[in-house]
Amino acid sequence: MAGIASIAVADPAELWRALGLVVSEEACWVSGIRHELGGPGKGVVAWSLHGAESLDELPRSQGAPPVPQATPDHPNGVFALDHVVVVAPNLSRTVAAFELVGIRRRTTRDAGIPRRPAQQVFFKLGQTVVEVVGSATATRPEPAWFYGLAFTVVDLELTAAFLGERLRPPRDAVQRGRRIATLDRSAGSTTRMAFMSRRH
């Protein structure tokens, strides 16, 4: 089964420590995925996969995928990487690239507004969902890019108390029965990050 081995993030390690994530040797482990910190650029810049190494629709990290490690007890309550959001200027091309390497589409959801209809296409890589978002009607030639990360936490209220004003108020998530809160820009991260309550 294909899965995510590593995710390269431009944020410095000190920032993720301040957000309540355990960091060792410039990396943070969640869901057996090595989040490699301190790279160039902004936000999520690349990833590496196992079982789907030929997928080249998104930037890939160099070198061999790391051996998975367990998720430590993060002080902010994070225990899983719920999903990775990808923006696709050419949605059909990106979806086809995933399917070409054997990553099966799980579901499709209509989104956007009537003037600019969009679709969300969901794939599963290991225990993590990849949400590919793009226009339902228009295409552009630019490559797909990583929009952000959403983590699952033990207790969203406790996470909100830990992060304080760095976290925006929780609201209902698209997934029924779940709540979500996004990290405010004042936190200093260049990575769009959200924290979600558990699945029921």
**What pLDDT is stored for residue 200 in this prediction?**
73
Q: How far apart are CA 52 and CA 195, in angstroms?
A: 27
What one-character DSSP code corresponds to residue 185?
G
Can you give the pLDDT at residue 116? Answer: 85
What percent of the chain has a predicted confidence (pLDDT) above 70? 100
- pLDDT for residue 111: 86
Domains contained in the chain, CATH given: 3-196 (3.10.180.10)
Q: What is the dihedral of CA 12, 18, 24, 30, to 10 degrees?
A: -100
CA dihedral 11, 15, 16, 20 (to 10 degrees): -160
Q: What is the pLDDT of residue 124?
A: 96
Please give the pLDDT value at position 56: 93
Cβ atoms of 123 and 55 within 8 Å: the answer is no
Q: Which residues of the chain have a pLDDT value below 50?
A: none
Q: Burial, 164: exposed, middle or buried (Cβ in 10 Å; 0-12, 13-18, 19+)? A: exposed
Convert the pLDDT of each residue in 51-90 to its tens digit. Answer: 998 999 999 998 888 989 999 999 999 999 999 999 999 9
